Structure 1
Amino acid sequence: MLVKSVRLAGLWHGKGAIAATGLLLLSSCGGGTPTTEDAQATLCGNLKLFGESLQTLASIDRSSSVTELNDALNSVNTSLSAVKQSAAEVKEAKINELDRAYQNLDEAVKEIPNDATLADAFSSIEDELKAVEDAESQMGIDLNCSDAAQ
Protein backbone atom coordinates (compact mmCIF):
# COMPACT_ATOMS: atom_id res chain seq x y z
CA MET A 1 0.00 0.00 0.00
CA LEU A 2 2.83 2.37 0.87
CA VAL A 3 4.61 2.09 -2.46
CA LYS A 4 1.32 2.44 -4.29
CA SER A 5 0.61 5.70 -2.46
CA VAL A 6 4.09 6.95 -3.34
CA ARG A 7 3.56 6.09 -6.98
CA LEU A 8 0.11 7.68 -7.03
CA ALA A 9 1.51 10.82 -5.46
CA GLY A 10 3.65 11.15 -8.56
CA LEU A 11 6.77 11.81 -6.56
CA TRP A 12 8.93 9.14 -8.12
CA HIS A 13 8.37 10.50 -11.60
CA GLY A 14 9.23 14.03 -10.79
CA LYS A 15 6.60 16.62 -10.02
CA GLY A 16 9.40 18.15 -8.00
CA ALA A 17 11.39 18.27 -11.21
CA ILE A 18 8.91 20.79 -12.61
CA ALA A 19 9.59 23.11 -9.70
CA ALA A 20 13.34 22.69 -10.08
CA THR A 21 13.15 23.42 -13.80
CA GLY A 22 11.15 26.57 -13.09
CA LEU A 23 13.74 27.71 -10.58
CA LEU A 24 16.54 27.01 -13.03
CA LEU A 25 14.75 28.97 -15.74
CA LEU A 26 14.24 31.91 -13.40
CA SER A 27 17.86 31.89 -12.32
CA SER A 28 19.06 31.72 -15.91
CA CYS A 29 17.24 34.94 -16.84
CA GLY A 30 19.86 36.94 -14.99
CA GLY A 31 23.14 37.51 -16.72
CA GLY A 32 24.10 35.98 -20.01
CA THR A 33 25.96 32.78 -20.70
CA PRO A 34 27.85 31.31 -17.75
CA THR A 35 31.55 30.67 -18.10
CA THR A 36 32.76 27.08 -18.34
CA GLU A 37 34.02 27.31 -14.77
CA ASP A 38 30.71 28.71 -13.51
CA ALA A 39 28.75 26.01 -15.33
CA GLN A 40 30.98 23.29 -13.90
CA ALA A 41 30.72 24.77 -10.39
CA THR A 42 26.94 24.79 -10.71
CA LEU A 43 26.94 21.17 -11.88
CA CYS A 44 29.24 20.15 -9.03
CA GLY A 45 26.97 21.90 -6.53
CA ASN A 46 23.90 20.21 -7.99
CA LEU A 47 25.70 16.87 -7.98
CA LYS A 48 26.52 17.32 -4.30
CA LEU A 49 22.87 18.09 -3.50
CA PHE A 50 21.83 15.01 -5.48
CA GLY A 51 24.27 12.89 -3.47
CA GLU A 52 22.86 14.28 -0.24
CA SER A 53 19.31 13.49 -1.37
CA LEU A 54 20.39 9.92 -2.18
CA GLN A 55 21.88 9.58 1.30
CA THR A 56 18.60 10.75 2.81
CA LEU A 57 16.69 8.22 0.71
CA ALA A 58 19.13 5.46 1.69
CA SER A 59 18.58 6.26 5.36
CA ILE A 60 14.85 5.44 5.18
CA ASP A 61 14.10 2.43 7.36
CA ARG A 62 11.20 0.71 9.09
CA SER A 63 10.93 3.56 11.62
CA SER A 64 10.52 6.17 8.86
CA SER A 65 7.16 7.66 8.01
CA VAL A 66 5.51 7.72 4.60
CA THR A 67 5.94 11.51 4.67
CA GLU A 68 9.69 11.09 5.16
CA LEU A 69 9.80 8.66 2.25
CA ASN A 70 7.79 10.98 0.01
CA ASP A 71 10.01 13.93 0.95
CA ALA A 72 13.15 11.90 0.20
CA LEU A 73 11.82 10.77 -3.19
CA ASN A 74 10.79 14.31 -4.06
CA SER A 75 14.24 15.58 -3.14
CA VAL A 76 15.94 12.94 -5.31
CA ASN A 77 13.77 13.84 -8.30
CA THR A 78 14.23 17.58 -7.88
CA SER A 79 17.98 17.35 -7.45
CA LEU A 80 18.39 14.92 -10.37
CA SER A 81 16.52 17.34 -12.60
CA ALA A 82 18.91 20.10 -11.54
CA VAL A 83 21.91 17.84 -12.29
CA LYS A 84 20.59 17.04 -15.77
CA GLN A 85 19.83 20.69 -16.47
CA SER A 86 23.27 21.88 -15.39
CA ALA A 87 25.03 18.95 -17.11
CA ALA A 88 23.68 20.22 -20.42
CA GLU A 89 25.92 23.28 -19.95
CA VAL A 90 29.11 21.29 -19.30
CA LYS A 91 30.66 19.59 -22.31
CA GLU A 92 32.69 17.20 -20.15
CA ALA A 93 29.67 16.01 -18.18
CA LYS A 94 28.96 12.35 -18.79
CA ILE A 95 25.41 11.99 -17.52
CA ASN A 96 24.63 8.70 -19.31
CA GLU A 97 25.91 6.38 -16.57
CA LEU A 98 24.03 8.29 -13.87
CA ASP A 99 20.90 8.38 -15.99
CA ARG A 100 21.12 4.63 -16.72
CA ALA A 101 21.61 3.80 -13.03
CA TYR A 102 18.66 5.99 -12.10
CA GLN A 103 16.46 4.34 -14.74
CA ASN A 104 17.35 0.94 -13.27
CA LEU A 105 16.40 2.22 -9.82
CA ASP A 106 13.13 3.57 -11.19
CA GLU A 107 12.32 0.19 -12.75
CA ALA A 108 13.14 -1.59 -9.49
CA VAL A 109 10.79 0.73 -7.61
CA LYS A 110 8.02 -0.03 -10.10
CA GLU A 111 8.48 -3.75 -9.39
CA ILE A 112 7.99 -3.41 -5.63
CA PRO A 113 4.75 -5.13 -4.61
CA ASN A 114 2.01 -2.82 -3.37
CA ASP A 115 1.83 -4.61 -0.04
CA ALA A 116 5.58 -4.32 0.69
CA THR A 117 6.70 -2.76 3.95
CA LEU A 118 9.22 0.09 3.95
CA ALA A 119 11.94 -2.33 5.05
CA ASP A 120 11.07 -4.84 2.32
CA ALA A 121 10.84 -2.11 -0.32
CA PHE A 122 14.25 -0.69 0.44
CA SER A 123 15.81 -4.08 0.80
CA SER A 124 14.64 -4.89 -2.73
CA ILE A 125 16.16 -1.74 -4.29
CA GLU A 126 19.37 -1.60 -2.26
CA ASP A 127 21.65 -2.64 -5.14
CA GLU A 128 20.08 -0.20 -7.59
CA LEU A 129 20.29 2.67 -5.09
CA LYS A 130 23.98 1.86 -4.51
CA ALA A 131 24.58 1.92 -8.28
CA VAL A 132 23.07 5.42 -8.49
CA GLU A 133 25.23 6.56 -5.56
CA ASP A 134 28.31 5.10 -7.27
CA ALA A 135 27.46 6.79 -10.58
CA GLU A 136 26.98 10.13 -8.78
CA SER A 137 30.32 9.72 -7.04
CA GLN A 138 32.13 8.78 -10.27
CA MET A 139 30.63 11.75 -12.10
CA GLY A 140 31.92 14.03 -9.34
CA ILE A 141 35.38 12.48 -9.62
CA ASP A 142 35.37 12.78 -13.43
CA LEU A 143 34.46 16.47 -13.16
CA ASN A 144 37.00 17.11 -10.38
CA CYS A 145 34.23 18.25 -8.05
CA SER A 146 35.79 18.65 -4.64
CA ASP A 147 32.73 17.73 -2.56
CA ALA A 148 30.54 15.65 -4.89
CA ALA A 149 32.26 12.31 -4.40
CA GLN A 150 31.99 11.02 -0.88
Structure 2
Amino acid sequence: MNSPATPPDPLFRAVEFLRAAPEPGWDAIAGRVVSAVRRTARPGGQPLLAQTPADSPGQGRIYVSDHVLRSTLAIELRQRYLCAPTQIAFDIDSQTDTLRGVLIELTGSYGTPLQELASHIRATTLAVIAELLGGSTADGRPIDVTVTDVVTGDPMGV
Protein backbone atom coordinates (compact mmCIF):
# COMPACT_ATOMS: atom_id res chain seq x y z
CA MET A 1 0.00 0.00 0.00
CA ASN A 2 1.34 3.37 -0.98
CA SER A 3 1.21 6.10 1.58
CA PRO A 4 0.10 9.52 0.46
CA ALA A 5 3.00 11.75 -0.53
CA THR A 6 3.96 14.06 2.28
CA PRO A 7 5.13 17.54 1.45
CA PRO A 8 8.88 18.04 1.92
CA ASP A 9 10.10 19.43 5.21
CA PRO A 10 9.95 23.28 5.18
CA LEU A 11 13.60 23.47 6.19
CA PHE A 12 14.56 21.18 3.31
CA ARG A 13 12.55 23.35 0.87
CA ALA A 14 14.25 26.51 2.20
CA VAL A 15 17.71 24.96 1.76
CA GLU A 16 16.89 23.90 -1.79
CA PHE A 17 15.54 27.36 -2.60
CA LEU A 18 18.64 29.11 -1.23
CA ARG A 19 20.98 26.81 -3.12
CA ALA A 20 19.18 27.57 -6.38
CA ALA A 21 18.85 31.34 -5.85
CA PRO A 22 21.80 33.55 -6.80
CA GLU A 23 23.32 35.66 -4.05
CA PRO A 24 22.07 39.26 -4.38
CA GLY A 25 24.86 41.49 -5.65
CA TRP A 26 27.21 38.60 -6.46
CA ASP A 27 27.66 39.75 -10.06
CA ALA A 28 28.92 43.12 -8.81
CA ILE A 29 31.53 41.68 -6.43
CA ALA A 30 32.52 38.42 -8.14
CA GLY A 31 35.64 39.89 -9.78
CA ARG A 32 36.92 41.35 -6.51
CA VAL A 33 36.32 38.10 -4.65
CA VAL A 34 38.14 36.05 -7.28
CA SER A 35 41.04 38.55 -7.26
CA ALA A 36 41.27 38.41 -3.47
CA VAL A 37 41.39 34.61 -3.54
CA ARG A 38 44.13 34.70 -6.17
CA ARG A 39 46.17 37.12 -4.03
CA THR A 40 46.11 34.92 -0.95
CA ALA A 41 49.39 33.37 0.06
CA ARG A 42 49.88 29.79 -0.99
CA PRO A 43 52.67 27.26 -0.47
CA GLY A 44 55.30 26.39 -3.01
CA GLY A 45 56.66 29.81 -3.90
CA GLN A 46 59.99 30.50 -5.55
CA PRO A 47 62.69 31.38 -3.01
CA LEU A 48 64.50 34.69 -3.48
CA LEU A 49 67.95 35.12 -2.00
CA ALA A 50 68.09 38.08 0.36
CA GLN A 51 71.31 39.86 1.23
CA THR A 52 72.51 39.03 4.69
CA PRO A 53 73.03 42.19 6.74
CA ALA A 54 76.74 43.01 7.09
CA ASP A 55 76.54 43.18 10.89
CA SER A 56 74.88 39.76 11.30
CA PRO A 57 76.94 37.12 13.11
CA GLY A 58 77.80 33.84 11.44
CA GLN A 59 77.33 32.65 7.93
CA GLY A 60 74.18 31.54 6.23
CA ARG A 61 71.60 32.54 3.70
CA ILE A 62 68.22 34.15 4.05
CA TYR A 63 65.46 33.48 1.53
CA VAL A 64 62.16 35.26 1.04
CA SER A 65 59.32 33.62 -0.88
CA ASP A 66 58.17 35.37 -4.05
CA HIS A 67 54.65 35.16 -2.57
CA VAL A 68 55.75 37.34 0.35
CA LEU A 69 57.32 39.91 -1.97
CA ARG A 70 54.29 39.89 -4.30
CA SER A 71 51.70 40.30 -1.53
CA THR A 72 53.74 42.97 0.29
CA LEU A 73 54.19 44.90 -2.93
CA ALA A 74 50.50 44.62 -3.87
CA ILE A 75 49.40 45.89 -0.45
CA GLU A 76 51.87 48.78 -0.54
CA LEU A 77 50.80 49.84 -4.05
CA ARG A 78 47.08 49.69 -3.21
CA GLN A 79 47.58 51.72 -0.04
CA ARG A 80 49.75 54.43 -1.61
CA TYR A 81 48.23 54.93 -5.05
CA LEU A 82 44.86 55.08 -6.75
CA CYS A 83 45.36 51.86 -8.70
CA ALA A 84 44.65 48.14 -8.62
CA PRO A 85 47.58 45.83 -9.37
CA THR A 86 46.22 43.03 -11.55
CA GLN A 87 49.47 41.12 -12.02
CA ILE A 88 52.86 41.18 -10.35
CA ALA A 89 55.38 38.82 -11.94
CA PHE A 90 59.05 38.33 -11.22
CA ASP A 91 61.99 37.43 -13.43
CA ILE A 92 64.02 35.15 -11.16
CA ASP A 93 67.40 33.63 -11.99
CA SER A 94 66.76 29.97 -11.13
CA GLN A 95 70.49 29.24 -10.76
CA THR A 96 71.13 31.89 -8.10
CA ASP A 97 67.58 32.50 -6.78
CA THR A 98 68.08 36.21 -7.36
CA LEU A 99 65.54 38.71 -8.61
CA ARG A 100 66.37 40.08 -12.06
CA GLY A 101 63.27 42.14 -12.78
CA VAL A 102 59.62 42.86 -12.05
CA LEU A 103 56.55 43.20 -14.29
CA ILE A 104 53.55 45.01 -12.84
CA GLU A 105 50.22 45.31 -14.63
CA LEU A 106 47.56 47.54 -13.14
CA THR A 107 44.26 49.28 -13.55
CA GLY A 108 44.45 53.03 -13.13
CA SER A 109 41.93 55.75 -12.49
CA TYR A 110 40.75 58.04 -15.29
CA GLY A 111 42.44 61.42 -15.02
CA THR A 112 45.53 60.11 -13.22
CA PRO A 113 48.82 61.12 -14.90
CA LEU A 114 49.79 57.57 -15.84
CA GLN A 115 53.49 58.21 -16.56
CA GLU A 116 53.87 59.85 -13.17
CA LEU A 117 51.98 56.97 -11.51
CA ALA A 118 54.27 54.44 -13.22
CA SER A 119 57.34 56.36 -12.04
CA HIS A 120 56.08 56.37 -8.45
CA ILE A 121 55.25 52.66 -8.66
CA ARG A 122 58.79 51.89 -9.89
CA ALA A 123 60.30 53.81 -6.98
CA THR A 124 58.01 52.12 -4.45
CA THR A 125 58.75 48.70 -5.94
CA LEU A 126 62.50 49.26 -5.60
CA ALA A 127 62.03 50.41 -2.00
CA VAL A 128 59.97 47.32 -1.10
CA ILE A 129 62.55 45.07 -2.76
CA ALA A 130 65.35 46.78 -0.84
CA GLU A 131 63.43 46.40 2.42
CA LEU A 132 62.67 42.69 1.96
CA LEU A 133 65.71 41.49 0.03
CA GLY A 134 68.31 44.08 1.01
CA GLY A 135 70.66 45.90 -1.29
CA SER A 136 70.64 49.25 -2.95
CA THR A 137 67.47 50.60 -4.52
CA ALA A 138 69.53 51.66 -7.56
CA ASP A 139 70.97 48.28 -8.51
CA GLY A 140 69.64 48.24 -12.07
CA ARG A 141 66.66 45.89 -11.75
CA PRO A 142 64.18 46.60 -14.54
CA ILE A 143 60.72 47.44 -13.26
CA ASP A 144 58.18 47.32 -16.08
CA VAL A 145 54.83 48.96 -15.29
CA THR A 146 51.95 48.50 -17.73
CA VAL A 147 48.54 50.11 -17.32
CA THR A 148 46.14 47.57 -18.83
CA ASP A 149 42.88 49.34 -17.98
CA VAL A 150 41.58 52.74 -16.87
CA VAL A 151 38.32 53.15 -14.97
CA THR A 152 36.36 56.06 -13.57
CA GLY A 153 36.81 56.36 -9.82
CA ASP A 154 38.65 53.97 -7.53
CA PRO A 155 39.91 50.89 -9.46
CA MET A 156 39.65 48.83 -6.26
CA GLY A 157 35.94 49.64 -6.05
CA VAL A 158 35.17 48.34 -9.53
TM-score band, normalised by shorter chain: under 0.3
Which has the larger Rg? 2
* Structure that is richer in strand per residue: 2
Q: More relative contact order in 1 or in 2 (CA 8 Å, sep 6+)? A: 1
